[in-house]
């Protein structure tokens, strides 16, 4: 990973895209059955970009590039002729429980991983990483996208804005609930 790189540029994501492209090459696609290609797609997308996607918001152009690589590999790119795509990519990305292939949609996978990080900041009780984040940015109560400015890092801004994606205002906060406990985690006044 490039230290100090700009995660909103396509060049920052080039190593991840190159690795995915190498693993899902057309030569391998020729030799594998459809079931084998689906299995390889699932394992590659779950493993290779995991660190990048769990830390940075991927630009739309990167998500589209990865989706194109996945689709070409799945539909037999590299054969004598391009195969016909019988099903839309959105249907392929639906879960296997509804009769689809369950291949991860890279953009939604990215949002889910960032939401998990935001959730951990909210609910983890201890940890050095949480102390560092709180000393730099404040508590989870300061994660409102209204309080952001250019002093905050790109990572923090993306994490705070994760709940505003797809024009679903604050979907994250509306799904996180609190349970009343024994009072040990309540902040005392004064």
Check whether 16 has a pLDDT greater than 70.
yes
pLDDT, greater one: 33 or 166 = 33
Tens-place pLDDT, residues 46-64: 788 888 888 889 999 999 9
**pLDDT in the model for residue 63:** 93
What is the pTM for the complete model shown?
0.78
pLDDT at residue 127, as a whole number: 78
More confident residue, 111 or 157: 111
User: Over the stretch 128-156, which tens digit does the pLDDT of each residue have?
Assistant: 888 888 888 777 666 665 566 677 778 88
Of 173, 58, 170, the C-alpha closest to 123 is 173
Contacts 24+ apart (CB under 8 A), 12-17: 12/56, 13/52, 13/58, 13/59, 13/62, 16/48, 16/49, 16/52, 16/62, 17/62, 17/65, 17/66, 17/69
pLDDT at 121 over 60: yes
User: Domain map of the chain by residue range?
Assistant: 11-105, 109-174
């Amino acid at each position: 990973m490039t230290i100090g790189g700009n995660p909103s540029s396509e060049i920052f994501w080039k190593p991840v895209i190159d690795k995915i492209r190498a693993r899902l090459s057309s030569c391998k696609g020729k030799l594998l059955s459809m079931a084998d290609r689906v299995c390889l797609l699932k394992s590659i997308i779950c493993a290779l970009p995991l660190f990048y996607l769990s830390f940075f918001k991927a630009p739309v152009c990167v998500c589209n590039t990865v989706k194109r690589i996945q689709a070409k590999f799945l539909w037999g790119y590299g054969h004598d002729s391009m195969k016909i795509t019988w099903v839309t990519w959105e249907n392929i990305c639906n879960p296997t429980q509804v009769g689809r292939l369950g291949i991860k949609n890279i953009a939604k996978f990215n949002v889910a991983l960032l939401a998990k990080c935001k959730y951990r900041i909210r609910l983890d009780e201890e940890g050095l990483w949480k102390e560092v984040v709180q000393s730099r940015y404040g508590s989870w109560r300061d994660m409102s996208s209204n309080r952001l400015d250019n002093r905050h890092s790109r990572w923090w801004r993306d994490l705070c804005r994760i709940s505003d994606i797809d024009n679903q205002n604050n979907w994250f906060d509306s799904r996180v609930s609190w349970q009343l406990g024994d009072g040990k985690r309540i902040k005392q006044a004064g």
